[in-house]
Every structure is written in structure tokens, then in C-alpha cells.
Amino acid sequence: MNGKNNIAIGFLTMGLFMAYGFLLIYLRDFAPGKEEWVNSYSIGKHFESRLAHVHGNLFAFLNILIGYLLLHFQDKLQNVKIISWLALIGLLMPVGILAEIYLGISPIFVLLGAIAMTAAVLWLGLAFYKLKNIEG
């Protein structure tokens, strides 16, 4: 894996979390009991669902960016496959939030995804810092 999957999965994930945003708009503006949903803005499922929406799009964008950089600099960077996989595993964070909200699953996936994405970003940053020549 050299970044192509990060780009493809990043765009697909972004599309899904953008669509999830429409559900959040529905719950806020049109759903029966919308007042209760609006009043729970900073607590419970409302807060967690907004976290999932925002982090889902952020982590999707990070995968697109990381994938592009890995493809473009794959011959000059070390550990491309590991960084690519860590960024993809990072998507467990927002998906884990949704699984926690809707399925009652343990937040372990949130933590694993957050750690993986942080590691991918730091590792890629170090790889670019160590890069001596970025021509071409």
C-alpha cells in the first residue's frame, strides 16, 4: 500500500460522514422531538455524534492528504506502508464513536484510532524532516 488506498478510502469516508451530517441536520431541524435534541447540544448522543461527524471528515481529509504525499514521495520516504496503514487505522476513531453511540461498543476503537492517526501524522512529519532533497 503506497497511499492510493488512503486517497480512495479517505474520499469514501468523507462522503459518508458528509451524508451523516444530513442526518444531524434532520435531527436538529425536522425530526419529531427536535427541541429535546437541540437542548442536549453539549451532552450525550448529540455531542458524541457531532464529534464523530467532525473527526470523521478530518480523519478522511488527513487520509487523502497523507495518501497524496505518500504517492508523490514514496521513493524518497521511509516506512510508507506503515504510515499508510496507521492513517487508515486512524479511521477507527470516528467510526468507533458511532459504534459506541449506536451499538454500545467499547470506546477502545476510539482510542486505537486516535493513537494510530497521531502516530501516522508524527511519523510522516519526521520522515519529511529527515528528507534531504525534495526536488522533482
Phi (first) and psi of residue 7, to 5 degrees: -65, -50
- For the chain, give the mean pLDDT: 94
The answer as to whether 117 is a domain residue is yes
Candidates 65, 55, 51, 59; CA nearest to 89 is: 59
Read off the pLDDT of residues 92-103 as tens digits, 9 standing for 90 and up: 999 999 999 999
The answer as to whether 110 is a domain residue is yes
Angle at CA of residue 131, ends 128 and 132, nearest 5°: 145
The answer as to whether 76 is a domain residue is yes
Read off the pLDDT of residues 59-105 as tens digits, 9 standing for 90 and up: 999 999 999 999 999 999 999 999 999 999 999 999 999 999 999 99
pTM reported for the whole predicted model: 0.92
The answer as to whether 114 is a domain residue is yes
The answer as to whether 93 is a domain residue is yes
The answer as to whether 136 is a domain residue is no
Candidates 68, 111, 73, 69; CA nearest to 90 is: 111
- Band the pLDDT of 116: cuts 50, 70, 90: very high
The answer as to whether 37 is a domain residue is yes
Indicate the residue type of 100. E
Q: How many domains does the chain have?
A: 1
Domain range for 91 is 4-130
The answer as to whether 135 is a domain residue is no
